[in-house]
Amino acid sequence: MRKPMIAANWKMYKTPKESLAFLDEFLPQVESHTASEIAIFPTMSSLGYVIEATRGTCVTAGAQTMHWLNEGPYTGQTSPTMLESIGCTAVLIGHSERRIYAHETDDMVNLKLKAALDHDLIPIVCVGETFDKREAGLTEAVLRWQVAVALNGIQGDLCGKLVIAYEPVWAIGTGSVATPRQANEAHAIIRHEVAVHLGQRCSQSTRILYGGSVKPDNVANLMAEPEIDGALVGGASLQPRSFLDIIRNATA
């Protein structure tokens, strides 16, 4: 029912030239790929190039962040209208690195999610607890709160449109991947909270990706869990071979 999604977050890596070199090697290898949806989130300066290079392929290109307004005096920001105008179809919202370094709050995540839906951008809303919150036994409370605020006031039929990424902060870029069981439990909490706000049908059609130190050799065990519908991959998505291995192993 939920088609897996494997997404690459390139963070602040790769110039346009490097992005296109990646795609030259990568795209021919996924030409006939149908087992999962593939998405790539390059840095803003490479996004237009990646959109053009992936047009007509099975790869979706998206932005790593955006503002929620269409225009205004906000230096350094990019709006949903601007993303739409260059053919962008997806956006990451509330990645923990944005929350930590750009001070994005749960309320901003909510505004961005509404804007993404208004502009038909596929939103990948990132949530996840810090190490301290997990140690304090607060994982469930954090996840429920983040999802509740993100979905506050969201109306309409979101069936199949919403994607959430569970990214425990302690697992991002650390090599400490969550166990499949830990991830599955967290995904079940998130799915339950989506059901509280958007109903059971929508919750069942919402894809929940796991992110945090996903590698070719751990993705299959994660994907074997019933609540895990894909992966958001940072470091291991930067090399075509390793990202291809993750895509292949995810649905093997």
Q: How far apart are CA 37 and CA 145, in angstroms?
A: 28
Question: Please, are residues 95 and 108 in contact by the beta-carbon 8 Å criterion?
Answer: no
| Part of the chain binding ligand PEP (CB under 6 A), chosen from 53-61, 102-110, 199-207, 232-240 | 232-240
Decide: is 223 part of the binding site for ligand PEP (CB under 6 A): no
Considering beta carbons, is residue 80 or 212 the nearer one to ligand PEP? 212
x/- string (CB under 6 A) for ligand PEP, residues 196-215? Answer: ---------------xxxx-
18 flagged as catalytic: no
Considering beta carbons, is residue 202 or 249 the nearer one to ligand PEP? 249
Long-range Cβ contacts of 100-109 (<8 Å, 24+ apart): 100/169, 102/65, 104/65, 106/145, 106/146, 106/149, 106/150, 107/149, 108/68, 109/146, 109/149, 109/150
Residue type for position 238: L
Element (H, E) at 172: none
Strand pairing report for 163-166 and 207-211: parallel
From the list 37, 129, 167, 225, which residue makes contact with ligand PEP (rule: CB under 6 A)?
167
95 flagged as catalytic: yes
Selecting among 67, 95, 119, 187, the annotated active-site residue is 95
Q: Which residues contact 178 (CB under 8 A, 6 or more apart)?
A: 168, 171, 186, 210, 212
Decide: is 173 part of the binding site for ligand PEP (CB under 6 A): yes
| Part of the chain binding ligand PEP (CB under 6 A), chosen from 13-21, 49-57, 113-121, 165-173 | 165-173
Nearest approach in angstroms of CB 25 to ligand PEP is 20
Decide: is 239 part of the binding site for ligand PEP (CB under 6 A): no
Catalytic positions, written as ranges: 95, 167
